[in-house]
């Protein structure tokens, strides 16, 4: 875990451009999500990108195109409905390829938007992630499992927040 780095959005933009060049019109949408997408939030310095292809599941030729960019395919990596890729290099990037419009797509973006709007929740989440890491969760699946309770609680709060926003009743957490 490191303090927020203002280069993260720049790296995301570069990666998103590279993905758009490689997959072109076969991408429906690309979004920066995860902790590096929340200004001011401490995070593991890995850019998380949410990708929705037009064709679901991801076509074999698109998987090969991502692999040609240096991404390693890791299957679902513990999340049903997600195709997961990672690339390690000058900066590290993870891709979560999911079907557009599904709960995976919406929940990831809702959580990002909630954390962007609630600095205190972002700080608490950063602490829970640091605790997970310090407890020895050094693999993707273990780390995800150890911070899972925090993600679940945040998602519940984010859905309440979204409902309140939609009804025009303020901004409670």
| Angstrom distance (rounded) from CA 173 to CA 160 | 7
Question: Which pLDDT score, from 0 to 100, does residue 131 have?
Answer: 83
| DSSP code string of 38-84 | STT--B-SEEEEEEEESSSSPPHHHHHHHHHTTPEE-TTTT-TTEEE
Q: What is the CATH number of domain 8-167?
A: 3.30.460.10
Query: Using one digit for the tens of pLDDT, what is the confidence trace for 41-93?
Result: 999 999 999 999 999 999 999 999 999 999 999 999 989 999 999 999 999 99
**φ and ψ at residue 28, rounded to 5 degrees:** -80, -45
Question: Which pLDDT score, from 0 to 100, does residue 137 have?
Answer: 62
Question: Which pLDDT score, from 0 to 100, does residue 78 have?
Answer: 87
Place of tokens 């962007």: 116
Question: Which pLDDT score, from 0 to 100, does residue 149 have?
Answer: 87
Cβ atoms < 10 Å from Cβ of 15: 20
User: Residues 6 or more apart from 21 whose CB is under 8 A from it?
Assistant: none
B/e letters for 42-71, b = 16+ CB within 10 Å, e = fewer, are: bbbbbbbbbbbbeebebeeebbebbeebeb
| Angstrom distance (rounded) from CA 98 to CA 119 | 27
Query: How does residue 123 score in pLDDT terms, banded at 50, 70 and 90?
Result: very high
- Whether this prediction's pTM lies above 0.85 is answered by yes
> Where exactly are the structural domains of the chain?
8-167
């Amino acid at each position: 875990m490191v303090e927020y780095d203002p280069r993260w959005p720049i790296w995301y933009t570069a990666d998103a451009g590279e993905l758009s060049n490689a997959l072109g019109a076969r991408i429906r949408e690309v979004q920066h999500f995860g902790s590096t997408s929340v200004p001011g939030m401490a995070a593991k310095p890995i850019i998380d990108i949410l990708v929705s292809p037009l064709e679901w599941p991801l076509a074999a030729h698109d998987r090969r195109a991502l692999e040609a960019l240096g991404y390693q395919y890791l299957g679902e990596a513990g999340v049903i409905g997600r195709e997961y890729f990672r690339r390690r290099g000058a900066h590290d990037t993870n891709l979560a390829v999911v079907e557009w419009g599904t709960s995976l797509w919406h929940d990831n973006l809702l959580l990002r938007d909630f954390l962007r709007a609630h600095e205190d929740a972002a700080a608490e989440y950063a602490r829970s992630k640091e605790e997970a890491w310090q407890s020895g969760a050094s693999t993707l699946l273990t780390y995800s499992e150890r911070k899972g309770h925090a993600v679940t609680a945040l998602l519940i709060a984010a859905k309440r927040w979204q409902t309140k926003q939609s009804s025009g009743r303020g901004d409670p957490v």
